[in-house]
Amino acid sequence: MRSRPVLAWTSTLAAALALTAAAGPVAAAPAARAAVTPTAHCPRLSDELTWYGDNRAQLQRVIDERGTCHGKGGPRPVAAFDWDNTVTKNDVTDATISWSLRHDKILRPARWKDTSKWLTDTAEKALTEACGTDVEVGAPLPTSTNAPCADEILQIREDGTTMSGEAAFAGEWNHRRTVPQYAWVPQLFAGHTVPELRAYTEAARKEALAAPVGATRTVGTHVLPAYVRYYEQQRDLIRTLRRAGFDVWIVSAGSEPVTEVWSRGVGIDRAHTVAIRSVLDDEGRITTRNEGCGGIGRTQGEAIPYIDGKRCWINQEIYGIKGRAAWNKQAPQRRIALGGGDADTDVTFVGDATGAHLVLNRNKNEVMCRAYDNADGRWVVNPMFIEPLPRRTTAYPCATAAWTRPGGGFGPVRRDDGSVVPDQQDTVY
């Protein structure tokens, strides 16, 4: 069962988090900020963990102002975080795929095109030729020894192309609500039960946490990260938010059983973990269909937690907003207080936050355009805590080609008032 909806507190932090336009989203601006006196009842973020600039202070202000720890009462505020590369370094779904390919856990489908409504004939042929037809339908593919088969699966997952470079997916979909190669991941595990997938994830998690930082491994001919780490700063932030009375959720575009295994490591239970939710058959086995959102029912992935889809799932699962209204930006009292993400897939829900928008810089265009533009003075930009990227040398193309169009392609990023965000330089790295 899912938790009952809660309401985010509406008190504003405009004075506490305002920044000067010239300083950018992380520079201190004492004159523009009202002093916030910590209360004896509000928990503190650890002083021993490194944050960029004054980011810790900005996040602490949100805790002090919004948390129920201040003793003023009111509904519990909500915080929501993406998972992969936001709470952990590296992608935990990819870690499970890697482990599964190396342990022959992908079952052969009757037809590869059954796994996705958007899979092309070219991809169907490439997968069939690489993976063969000798194995019975529903039996494990020998991907641990069949490198071409593992390669085709990984290439389609990573880039949406075959090993020959041709498009693996085609057709029409809303590019702000789904991406076929993300939806395809849970579909690869069709035929397994949820407990089986959780067991594979537990094994992959143990392996990834034991591997040294920076380690890689080769699967097929693909070189993949071999390690995953929880970010200690994010673990501390989530723990502190929960102690301060926040209702903390994970909202991921990964597979839900996989994310649930990992989210336990920061104290988040299954009821507070939202990801791509597979439809199960009568025997409890994963199918190629996913649960939908915002009036979209069960499909092969038309409404997953992806860009605007993350807003929809938050509105639906946390605030109980049903039907088409779940796609809409809600009034402040029905929005999260703090959102954290690292990529364009997170930009909508992180932007919806009323207190602070935390972004880990992975050089993703749309989210970094909004973060550096810092229209409401509440964007908090931090380099990745492990192996941060170097400074991007070219400007983000905010004014022309950083916003993902629903029909595909890219356009200018616009503020709420319709004005265009100018190109932005990378300043936090």
pLDDT in tens, 360-391: 999 999 999 999 999 999 999 999 999 999 99
pLDDT tens by residue, 85-128: 999 999 999 999 999 999 999 999 999 999 999 999 999 999 99
Residues 342, 258, single domain; the answer is yes
The reply to whether 214 and 235 lie within a common domain is no
> 162-186: string of b/e by CB count within 10 Å (b at 16+)?
bbeeeebbeeebbbbbbbbbbbbbb
Do 158 and 219 fall into the same domain?
yes
Among 160, 194, 225, identify where a domain stops: 225
Q: Same domain for 136 and 182?
A: yes
pLDDT in tens, 116-155: 999 999 999 999 999 999 999 999 999 999 999 999 999 9
The CATH number of residue 404's host domain is 3.40.50.1000
**260 and 194 share a domain?**
no
Residue 355 and residue 17 in contact, taking contact as beta carbons nearer than 8 Å: yes
Q: Is residue 162 part of a domain?
A: yes
Residue 4 resides in a domain: no
Residues 261 and 407 in one domain: yes
- Residues in the chain, overall count: 429
Kindly state whether residue 35 falls inside one of the protein's structural domains.
yes
Which of 164, 195, 225 finishes a domain? 225
The reply to whether 102 and 194 lie within a common domain is: yes
Please tell me whether residues 82 and 97 are part of one structural domain.
no
Q: Give which of 403, 426, 405 is closest to 413, Cα–Cα.
A: 403
Please, which residues have CB within 8 angstroms of residue 409's CB and are 6 or more apart in sequence? none
Q: Does 116 share its domain with 50?
A: no
Instruction: Give the domain range for residue 148.
Output: 92-225
Longest Cα pair distance anywhere in the chain, in angstroms?
A: 71
Domain boundary among 204, 225, 246: 225
Under a CB-based contact definition with an 8 Å cutoff, are residues 423 and 397 in contact?
A: yes
Cα(228)–Cα(206) distance, rounded to whole angstroms?
A: 10
Q: What is the pLDDT of residue 399?
A: 98
Same domain, 217 and 234: no
Confirm whether 198 is domain-assigned: yes
Task: Give me the torsion for CA of 328, 157, 80, 286, rounded to 10°.
Answer: 90
As to burial, measured by CB atoms within 10 angstroms (0-12 exposed, 13-18 middle, 19+ buried), residue 289 is buried
- Residue 371: inside a domain: yes
Structural domain count, the chain? 2
Q: Per-residue pLDDT for 51 more than 70? A: yes
Residue 2 lies in a domain: no
Residue 257 lies in a domain: yes
| Within a domain: 421 | no
236/381 same-domain check:
yes
pLDDT in tens, 53-67: 999 999 999 999 999
Helices (H), 103-193: 121-131, 147-159, 180-188
